């Protein structure tokens, strides 16, 4: 057991003296070496589809900080693109996609059996990484959850309240559900291929789960995560799944048990003490330092990091941020956080 990678040990339910650590968006614009490689690739999407350069940016934060896990460099919006949606990024604004609001739009999507034509370079990135990563580093593959991906496909962009997706759900539920079902099946194929290429863990990002309430949360956040997890576990026994139903609040309680996920990732809207009592009692949790500390730093960063490590010290825990690190973060603050986790006496 003890020669296993630390992240895999935590995901198997082991309580470790020092939690393993990685960071959402650890490859990103806060790092000068990322900005240089992105410039070399030309633009963000070209970087995602250039397997050599995508592997390079995945490795950069591992070289700089020695994180315990590397997350594949890609994006949740590549799957809609593989399904036939147009996708582009507007500088300073974010992603844009062709929209899906009618049955006709939906019918134009390609068959899920054709997604690999677009996604093959992503599997190649995974293969390169599984050769090149240090032996102690775990490789995490990922996809967006169906609801979160659907919110972008319906609106054609990121939205604050996911209004267009909620509107389609209210006005044309059969079409909305057909999209969720198609994304669920496509996600299973996509993650399965990542695992076959060498991903050792997969994470499902449901960044907008918090805007689903009551029965909708069960039907469109929990049930798709359950289906994806169950089919993957059947096809690839032993590969752990991390679920991230961001801002689920009370919905975090029992989410791992209900879906079969091995770990629930927590955003920073819940306190570590609350989550230790109510969520970690069922198994591994990941999180949940506010990413703003990576910008502001100082003693507050060290204190809050230590408080989170302490709150989760009674059970399996992977240290992480509550959401992705932002481009304005200071790379030195990341090192401070790591020191506070790994060498609390020195920080």
Q: Which of residues 304-343 bind ligand 1CP (CB under 6 A)?
A: 324
- Is residue 25 flagged as an active site residue? yes
Q: Which of 9, 30, 34, 38 is catalytic?
A: 38
SS3 state of residue 150: helix
Span near ligand 1CP by CB under 6 A; candidates 20-28, 80-88, 111-119, 221-229:
20-28
Distance CA 84, CA 262 (A): 32
- Looking at beta carbons, which residue is closest to ligand 1CP? 158
Residue 38 a catalytic site member? yes
**25 is a site residue for ligand 1CP (CB under 6 A):** yes
DSSP 209-260: GGG--HHHHIIIIIHHHHHHHHHHHHHSTT--EEEEETT-GGGGTTHHHHHT
Q: Which string of b and e fits 189-211 if b means at least 16 CB within 10 Å?
A: bbbbbbbebbbbbbbbbbbbbbb
Q: Which stretch binds ligand 1CP (CB under 6 A): 73-81, 217-225, 229-237, 294-302?
A: 73-81
**Cβ atoms 288, 267 nearer than 8 A:** yes
Of 32, 42, 66, 94, which one interacts with ligand 1CP (CB under 6 A)?
A: 94
> Which residue among 205, 220, 252, 312 contacts ligand 1CP (CB under 6 A)?
205
DSSP 8-state secondary structure symbol assigned to residue 182 = H
Which one of 65, 68, 75, 206 is the catalytic residue?
75
Residue of 66, 65, 71, 68 lying closest to 9 (CA atoms): 68
**What is the closest distance, in whole angstroms, from the C-beta atom of residue 293 to ligand 1CP in the complex?**
17
* Residue 220 annotated to the active site: no
Part of the chain binding ligand 1CP (CB under 6 A), chosen from 13-21, 27-35, 107-115, 306-314: 27-35
Binding of residue 95 to ligand 1CP (CB under 6 A): yes
How many helices (H) and strands (E) in the chain?
17, 9
- 336 counts as catalytic: no
Among 7, 8, 11, 24, binds ligand 1CP (CB under 6 A): 24
**Which residue's CB is nearer to ligand 1CP, number 53 or number 275?**
53
Four-CA torsion 38, 41, 44, 46, nearest 10 degrees: -160
- Buried b / exposed e along 131-148 (16+ C-beta atoms within 10 A): eebeeebbbbbbbbbbbb
- Which residue, among 225, 226, 208, has the nearest Cα to 323 in the 3D structure? 208
Catalytic annotation, pick one of 152, 190, 220, 252: 152
Q: Give residue 34's Cα distance to chain centre.
A: 19
Nearer to ligand 1CP by C-beta: 150 or 226? 150
The answer to the question of residue 73 lying near ligand 1CP (CB under 6 A) is yes
Q: Is 30 a catalytic residue?
A: no
Binding site residues, ligand 1CP, CB under 6 A? 24-29, 38, 44, 71, 73, 75-77, 94-95, 142, 144, 158, 205, 207, 324
Kindly list the catalytic residues: 25, 29, 38, 75, 152
């Amino acid at each position: 057991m003890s020669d296993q990678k630390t992240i895999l040990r935590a995901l198997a339910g082991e309580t470790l003296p020092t939690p393993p650590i990685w960071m959402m968006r650890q490859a990103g614009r806060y790092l000068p070496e990322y900005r240089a490689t992105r410039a070399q690739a030309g633009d963000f999407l070209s970087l995602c589809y250039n397997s050599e350069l995508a592997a390079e940016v995945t490795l950069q934060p591992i070289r700089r900080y020695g994180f315990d896990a590397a997350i594949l460099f890609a994006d949740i919006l590549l799957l809609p693109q593989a399904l036939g949606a147009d996708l582009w990024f507007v500088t300073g604004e974010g992603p844009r996609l062709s929209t899906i609001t009618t049955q006709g739009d939906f019918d134009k999507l390609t068959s899920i059996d054709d997604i690999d034509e677009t996604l093959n370079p992503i599997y190649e990135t995974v293969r390169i990484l599984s050769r090149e990563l240090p032996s102690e580093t775990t490789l995490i593959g990922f996809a967006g959850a169906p609801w979160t991906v659907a919110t972008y496909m319906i609106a054609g962009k990121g939205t604050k309240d996911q209004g267009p997706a909620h509107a389609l759900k209210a006005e044309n539920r059969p079409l909305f559900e057909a999209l969720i079902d198609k994304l669920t099946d496509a996600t299973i194929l996509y993650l399965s291929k990542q695992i076959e290429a060498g991903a050792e863990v997969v994470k499902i990002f449901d960044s907008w789960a918090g805007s689903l309430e009551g029965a909708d949360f069960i039907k469109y956040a929990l049930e798709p995560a359950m289906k994806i997890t169950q089919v993957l576990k059947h096809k690839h026994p032993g590969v752990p799944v991390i679920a991230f139903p961001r801002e689920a609040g009370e919905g975090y309680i029992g989410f791992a048990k209900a879906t079969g996920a091995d770990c629930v990732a927590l955003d920073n809207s819940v306190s570590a003490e609350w989550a230790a009592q109510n969520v970690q009692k069922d198994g591994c949790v990941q999180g949940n330092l506010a990413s703003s500390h990576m910008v502001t730093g100082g003693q507050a960063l060290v204190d809050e990091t230590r408080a989170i490590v302490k709150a989760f010290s009674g059970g399996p825990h992977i240290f992480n941020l509550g959401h992705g690190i932002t481009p304005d973060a200071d790379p030195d603050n990341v090192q401070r956080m790591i020191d506070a986790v790994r060498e609390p006496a020195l920080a």
